[in-house]
Structure 1
Amino acid sequence: YKSVDAGKTWTHLGLRDGQQIPQIVVDPKDPNRLFVAVLGHPYGPNEERGIYRSTDGAKSFQKVLYKDENTGGIDVVFDPGNANIVYAVLWEARQGPWENGAFQGPNSGVFKSIDGGTTWKLITKGLPTFAGDGLGRIGITVAPSEPKRLFATVDATRKAGLYRSDDGGENWYLANGDPRYTSRGSDFAEVKVHPKDADIVFTGSIVAWRSTDGGKSFTAFRGAPGGDDYHRIWIDPTNPDIILLAADQGAIITVNGGRTFSSWYNQPTAQFYHVVTDNAFPYRVCGGQQESGSACVSSRGPYGQITFRDWTPVGVEEYGYVAPDPLNPDIVYGGRVSRFDRRTGQVQQVGPVAARTPDYRVVRTQPVLFSTIDPRTLYFASNVVWKTLNGGSSWTQISPDLARKTWSVPPTVGKYTGTDAARVTQRGVVYTLAPSYLDINRIWAGTDDGLIHVTIDGGRSWSDVTPPDLKPWAKVSIIDASHFHAGTAYAAVNTIRLDDLRPHIYRTRDGGKTWTHITNGIPEGATINTVKEDPVRAGLLFAGSETQVYFSIDDGDHWQSLRQNMPAISIRDLVIKDDDLVLGTHGRGFWILDDITPLRQMAAKAPDEVHLFTPQRATRVRWNLNTDTPLPQEEPAGENPPDGAILNYYLKSKPAGPVTLEILDGSGAVVRSYSTADAAEPIRDEGNVPAYWIRPAQILSAEPGMHRFVWDLHYAKPQGMQGAFPIAAVFRNTVRSPHGVWALPGTYSVRLTVDGKSVSRPFRLRMDPRVNTPGVALQHQFALSTQLSAAMDVVGRKRVTGDRDEAELARLHGELLAIYNLVQASDVA
């Protein structure tokens, strides 16, 4: 891809079938000249591999260095002093579908071109060989201050380490053979040299290393005991004290040569494997994440946004499932199997002891989840299914080994079929479990080697109900049992390990006897990781791919994108919690789509000229409980859900006149009224309140399309006063106080009027379930607040007309406001 506006927009240039592009270098003196290292398919052979060159700004590419369909480009660098000298690395590497490490071959090596990439010479004198040393991946760099000096990290069975050349790659010698500094080549091959001192060398492994003597010795200058996994290093060529490191958790920067670093917690880069929610209010979103352990974060922060105050680890290993206890959200299970008590912070291992013996198999991500019917029943899966009724104190095996007993090596393994690694017998595991929502004895199980089983008698017997076209080592990544029909289930199947990126979703309506492939509308290449059925509306499905989320309103017969404002990112799992869609991404953290009720109400036919959707139940929650100085705007924060009732409407075309939206109470009286003719209050600096604190005004829209408007659950604020911004501000989300009177819990309706025609929909407003204030007390609060608001209205109007002493009116108004705010905050019992 290429951007000409600093990354705001991108244009696809080509090389799509390369699938993995680890390096792009651009000639510093000619931006139209660039080289691209294309590694190729990880699980199969393909022609679009090697080193490509463009001389016309990527309008076209030429393959300038290529070996075969199994060997790809992994690195390419310019000589800093002469852009016609280019170094490139080829790596013959492929993965097997059972993930037992890369297959490697003899075509790996370092190459050099002295004519701008037209011809290449293999330069491996002194480096390990494949035949004698098991040569693997290589990473290369050139010293900017001494271009003849090169360093290379070399992965090999023998003689691995950091290699150095002082004659432009013609001869190499082992500078340091300590494996800590280069680590495993399947993950690491990063080496960089200080731009002004050729003896200062940096490498990346589970920690970041620095040498000041040309690679003879190293010191760890960034890392942690458990390993941070540093994959990329960038050094500012003009100020070498500025160094950027990219790790599994995110990117960090030092501006003082590594003495101190910024935090990776200022960027949403969490890599989650699965996502789940608990039954607390507000509900928490939980998952296991790469390198940074487990996380549970509140879906609503008490101080107007979601911050570090609302996040806690829950004792689950980084790859693991998380399973909050349905009866006690302070107890959380996960991993293989751990039990976390939020009250004490203690973690206890409670998994089946037998599962740790050689007779049983597990992988990184093993299912741990509660029964959807009996909240005491917890399931765990290895290559068999386990069940506990007492929190893991004892376990019962309720299935035989459900993985394939025999299978052949998939054709995509190609020429590596006869290698020792491919001949090793590999066995699958149960990768997904789906207990029925309707029948406690029905459980679905899917394996990562391509089988689906179901039991209808609680595990006493299991039936193989695998779709006929499911090939061995197709990963059944998620099965979801229907909420409406016991014999209906949905399966997401990921076939990337068979070199197949096509989407695969299956549906059965007869208990697995027959399956239908349902991916119409999902593009080719959109590998699917997960599929879930909405628990409220039959036929509404959601699916997550490697780039975005999709939905279907006809039980999977047709799909369309629901990406909205999300980045292109791997959706590993999703869950529907109440009226929200919650996503777990592998690289951009958790995301929530608030209020999917419009999707539930969508019909197959096009909507009318004007359509008002029935709102979800609203909850009266104090949006910001902070009473003092807020967190600075530099602190990273997630967004709270909208603070009020979410109102959705659709306009097929632009109306002739203004559109109005009114909130009515149970008696039909208008509580609040909005119009497209309302003027937006401009955002401007307010004395000591910089503009970046202020929430943009919400204006009703009359444009064609779908629209969302939020009523803040208040009556109109007292008139005749401008109000002020509170000390407890929220970045870009602060509104003037005071608000109007709180609306009472009860029944309301929303009325949409377009060109003289009105449509109304009812909705409920409930009190925050954590608040125990009696209804009669809320009535008293409402009555007193209403009276005070009316008094402030009178005083405010008199101040505007100036018919009394301004100082006296200001004093009276201030006293009324203080009492009003006190009364409005009294519903906290």
Structure 2
Amino acid sequence: AMSQGGNLAMWDKLTGRTQFIKPQHPEGKELRYHWNAALALHPFQDCGLYYGSQYVHKSLDCGQSWEIISPDLTTNDTLKQDQSNSGGLTLDVTGAENHTTILCITPDAEDENVIWVGTDDGNIQLTRNGGASWEKLNNNIPGLPANAWIPQIILSEHQGGEAFVVVNNYRMNDWSAYLFHTEDYGKSWNRMVDDSDVEGFVCSVVQDPENENLLFLGTDVGLYFSLDKGENWMKWEKGLPSVQIRDMKIQDKFDDLVLGTFGRSFYVLDDIKPLRKLAEEGKAILDSTLVVFEPGTVYQTSSRSYDGTRFIAQGDFVGDNKSRGAMFTVWVKPGKEEKRNSGKTETGKNRKEKKPDKKPKDTKDKKSGKEGKGKEKSDKKGKQITILAINTEGDTIRTFKRNIKEGMNRINWRPDSKGVNYPARSEPKEKREPGGMPMVPGEYKMIFEYKGNKDSTVLKVASDPRLDPAQFDPVARYKAMDDFNNVITGVTQAYNNLKEAKKSMNIYKDIIAVQEDSIKEEYGKLNKEISGQIDSLMNLYMLPESGKTEYRDNSKTLTSQLRNGRRFLSAATGAPNENAKIAVANATGKAEKVLVGINEFFSDQWPAYLDKIRALPLDIFKEYETIKIE
């Protein structure tokens, strides 16, 4: 951990113990540290560190001792080192005023003898022999502004000697964009980014470790990316404000781009594989009507509440959590009307781009004068895509739909296979396949269907890698839940039969209501008696509806016990334990008793009721006299 003035400490995450390890000059010379002094890990030594003052300090024992492996790599301009004698009544000695210091140290992960250094007064230095000698590269770089900041040097993972150097000079009222690139250890350079490519000065850059053509650029006004190694740049507009991007890193394991902003916290661009695919195959892939990009592996994990205040109301800032489960990136080719104004922001080297109109668009309805919500809001349901999950045996284990729009879409889905419906008093507004059953880890073919077009990809489902796989048996867990589903399916069908019977009784009730009084009285009592029996059976599933707010104990109802048994099975690590077996047995026993009562009703009382209704000489239609005008 580092703080201003070059203060450096080694901190134990487990115990909180802190040890001060700031380098000291062996001859007592003054060391100049930047407010954010350069710190880098040694790529070949677990306890190796590099730290920057005006020198490069090296430690191989976690800061217990240090070796200076460079001369002063800055301009050492003494006119810029007099801050302790400036400031008037209050001296400028906070550490923020330190100048002619090292800003960044970048050791080569492939060659431990190669180290790149950038300073806050414009020097770019390189050693290829572990610090025995250093080469200043400034004179090799055409267009490099003198005395500018060199806050970041990023080395390519694709070839040795390739580097991207970020330069900004806004402190000298030069707000231009500078990114320089070399492929031969700084012998020759080209300016990869200028003001015709992006807006704002450059703060950071990162190259995709898998595809060298995919670059991300952080500027003062947001994020840009290139699919062709800097020939063209496009601004990222979706979900990210036009804020300064100070630093970026790609998490190789999850293919995520992590952004550190100035004053707007962290952002994570989940799953850059679609951009990687575009960089590999070109944007011609977007000529297809429907394209599904390869998703990442989805892990079956649990979540816990974070440390600290749990219910914060509006007291604290809380960032968005990543959506759990799988995330699919789906391209739907826009129609002609969408192409007419696609919002494309690609820039090229040799052409000037028209600045976007910054005036807000008039969204008022000309007739009413009220603000409109746009056409997309008028269709609540929108267009939908059908998605099927197919296992290795070729069985379709899940079918579901998601809303989709033209252009690039992100679809989140917590993987599950087809489940069962529980007893419910009301009918669903939209019939859809129930989920809820876990997916056994493995590979699944995912088929996407939209307006007659199909595409597919493979989704890999894996167990939580943090857990011991020997303690889990997902196949046994699935079987136990599937067996219990048979119980749920049976009692749900019985409940639905009761609902249908009651619906038909309501029809008979309306017919009887128009009969003569003697029939109405006799059969009205019969209807009430049979309806009461049905209500009694339905109340075994769930408590009757109440018109007032009150606490009622529903723990003895069948639905409650079914969900209790399911809860034990869902949380199991494999086959049910003894406690789960008891919960399942109690629910199954309750279900069997309820079914006995329902089956007896439909075998005895219900047929007798139907026989009486069918034997009734119903007079449904009224006769009407001829009407004449006298």
SS of the aligned residue for 1:503 comes to strand
Pairing of 1:712-727 with structure 2 (within 5 A): 712-721=414-423
| Partner in structure 1 of residue 9 of structure 2 | 338
| Partner in structure 1 of residue 232 of structure 2 | 558
Q: Is the 8 A contact 2:41 2:50 kept in 1?
A: yes
CA shift in 2, pair 1:609/1:817, >3 Å: same
TM-score (norm 2): 0.65
d(CA) in 1 for partners of 2:73, 2:412 = 50
d(CA) in 2 for partners of 1:560, 1:355 = 50
> Structure 2: which amino acid aligns with 1:398?
I
d(CA) in 2 for partners of 1:624, 1:739 = 23
Q: Say whether 1:760 aligns with 2:456.
A: yes
CA shift in 2, pair 1:713/1:371, >3 Å: farther
403, 406, 411: which one aligns with 1:700 = 403
| Partner in structure 2 of residue 662 of structure 1 | 388
Structure 1 residues not aligned, in runs of 5+: 1-314, 321-334, 410-420, 676-698, 725-737
Pairing of 1:165-184 with structure 2 (within 5 A): none
d(CA) in 2 for partners of 1:723, 1:480 = 62
d(CA) in 2 for partners of 1:817, 1:356 = 74
> Structure 1: which amino acid aligns with 2:225?
F
739, 751, 765: which one aligns with 2:447 = 751
SS of the aligned residue for 1:638 comes to coil
425, 435, 439: which one aligns with 2:107 = 435
**Post-superposition CA distance 1:527-554 (Å, at most 9, x none):** 1111111223222111111121111122
Q: Is the 8 A contact 1:451 1:470 kept in 2?
A: no
Q: Say whether 1:777 aligns with 2:473.
A: yes
> Structure 2: which amino acid aligns with 1:799?
Y
SS of the aligned residue for 1:761 comes to strand
595, 598, 605: which one aligns with 2:283 = 605
| Partner in structure 2 of residue 128 of structure 1 | none
Q: Say whether 1:396 aligns with 2:92.
A: no
> Structure 1: which amino acid aligns with 2:239?
N
d(CA) in 1 for partners of 2:173, 2:397 = 59
Cα distance, 1:763 vs. partner?
Answer: 2.9
Q: Is the 8 A contact 1:451 1:464 kept in 2?
A: yes
| Partner in structure 2 of residue 615 of structure 1 | 295
> Structure 2: which amino acid aligns with 1:605?
K
Q: Say whether 1:820 aligns with 2:561.
A: no
d(CA) in 1 for partners of 2:493, 2:163 = 64
**Post-superposition CA distance 1:154-192 (Å, at most 9, x none):** xxxxxxxxxxxxxxxxxxxxxxxxxxxxxxxxxxxxxxx
Q: Is the 8 A contact 2:77 2:100 kept in 1?
A: no
Could you tell which deviates more after superposition, 435-444 or 606-615? 435-444
CA shift in 2, pair 1:796/1:560, >3 Å: same
| Partner in structure 2 of residue 584 of structure 1 | 260
496, 501, 507: which one aligns with 2:170 = 496
SS of the aligned residue for 1:707 comes to strand
> Structure 2: which amino acid aligns with 1:552?
S
TM-score (norm 1): 0.50
d(CA) in 2 for partners of 1:723, 1:595 = 42
Cα distance, 1:773 vs. partner?
Answer: 4.2
d(CA) in 1 for partners of 2:31, 2:44 = 28
Cα distance, 1:721 vs. partner?
Answer: 4.8
Cα distance, 1:630 vs. partner?
Answer: 6.1
Q: Say whether 1:364 aligns with 2:35.
A: yes
Cα distance, 1:710 vs. partner?
Answer: 1.0
Q: Say whether 1:806 aligns with 2:534.
A: no
Give the share of equivalent positions with the same residue, in percent. Answer: 27
CA shift in 2, pair 1:336/1:717, >3 Å: farther
**Post-superposition CA distance 1:371-430 (Å, at most 9, x none):** 344433221111111221211111122222111256999xxxxxxxxxxx9xxx996222
CA shift in 2, pair 1:522/1:345, >3 Å: farther
> Structure 2: which amino acid aligns with 1:613?
F
Pairing of 1:249-398 with structure 2 (within 5 A): 316-317=2-3, 336-354=7-25, 357-398=28-69
d(CA) in 2 for partners of 1:671, 1:373 = 48
d(CA) in 1 for partners of 2:293, 2:173 = 43
SS of the aligned residue for 1:639 comes to coil
The structure whose residues are more often helix, as a share, is 2
**Post-superposition CA distance 1:278-336 (Å, at most 9, x none):** xxxxxxxxxxxxxxxxxxxxxxxxxxxxxxxxxxxxx643x69xxxxxxxxxxxxxx63
d(CA) in 1 for partners of 2:194, 2:46 = 36
The structure whose residues are more often strand, as a share, is 1
> Structure 2: which amino acid aligns with 1:348?
Q
- Over the aligned positions, Cα root-mean-square deviation in angstroms equals 3.3
d(CA) in 1 for partners of 2:319, 2:449 = 35
Cα distance, 1:344 vs. partner?
Answer: 1.6
| Partner in structure 1 of residue 323 of structure 2 | 642
d(CA) in 2 for partners of 1:623, 1:480 = 35
| Partner in structure 2 of residue 710 of structure 1 | 412
d(CA) in 2 for partners of 1:712, 1:376 = 40
> Structure 2: which amino acid aligns with 1:599?
L
SS of the aligned residue for 1:813 comes to helix
CA shift in 2, pair 1:366/1:651, >3 Å: same
SS of the aligned residue for 2:105 comes to strand
d(CA) in 1 for partners of 2:77, 2:304 = 59
State how many pairs are aligned: 447
| Partner in structure 1 of residue 208 of structure 2 | 534
